[in-house]
Structures are given as structure tokens and as C-alpha cells.
């Protein structure tokens, strides 16, 4: 998996665990991920959530033949955060031939829910 010169690198996202049925990624809550008032940006949560779903989906396909792309995502931002680290915990709800649906819970260091998201991934043959 390429991390250099990607959004993952820019936001400081790191892979903690990668299994076909559970992905955990962390992201710092700092200047890279803040909105102007100094809180974790909702868009950073969404980027973390879609990254977790995409990484998990990638583990389910033959990456020589298929690409995976996020095609829909929603997010409910439950709690704000100023600093520290958040962890995305992603599990598949549906694994199909052409789509996957993942649920992603983003939590703080005490496992408090910060954001919950659902992401639909498209599975597309490489040309």
C-alpha cells in the first residue's frame, strides 16, 4: 500500500491493524486535522472513515485485477475533540461482487464515540 504523497501521509493516518473483516487506523488531532476554531475537522473524520473502508475493501479483492473506490459516505459527528489521537474501527456490513458497505466508528483514547460513518465502496475492474 502506497502511503507516500497521499492524503494518508498528509493527515498522519497510520495503519494499526488490517484484517479483511476489521481495520483500525489512527489519525492525530492537530494542526493538520483541525478546523479554524481548533477542533477536529468533520472532513478529516470523513477522510479517515473512507480510508479505513477502502483499505478494508482492498483486502477483499484481487488488487491485480480490481480497484476499489468510495462511492457514497455519510457521517454523524457525535463529539468534538481538540487534541490527541482518534482511531477508526471499520467492519464490513456487506461484501458483494460489485459493492461493499462498511461501518466505521471513530473513537478517542477512552473509546468515546467521536463519529460514526457508513461508506459504500465500488469494486471496479482495472482496464
* Active site (catalytic) residues: 50
Report residue 68 as a C-alpha cell.
476499489
Cα–Cα dist 72/95, whole Å:
15
**Helix, coil or strand: residue 13:** coil
Report residue 30 as a C-alpha cell.
492537530
Amino acid at each position: 500500500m502506497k502511503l507516500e504523497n497521499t492524503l494518508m501521509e498528509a493527515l498522519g493516518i497510520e495503519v494499526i491493524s488490517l484484517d479483511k473483516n476489521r481495520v483500525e487506523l489512527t489519525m492525530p488531532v492537530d494542526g493538520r486535522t483541525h478546523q479554524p476554531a481548533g477542533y477536529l475537522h468533520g472532513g478529516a473524520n470523513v477522510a479517515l472513515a473512507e480510508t479505513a473502508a477502502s483499505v478494508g475493501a482492498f483486502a477483499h479483492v484481487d488488487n491485480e485485477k480490481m480497484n476499489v473506490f468510495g462511492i457514497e459516505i455519510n457521517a454523524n459527528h457525535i463529539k468534538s475533540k481538540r487534541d490527541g489521537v482518534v482511531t477508526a474501527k471499520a467492519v464490513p456490513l456487506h461484501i458483494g461482487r460489485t459493492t461493499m458497505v462498511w461501518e466505521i466508528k471513530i473513537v478517542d483514547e477512552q473509546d468515546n464515540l467521536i463519529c460514526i460513518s457508513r461508506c459504500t465502496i465500488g469494486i471496479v475492474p482495472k482496464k
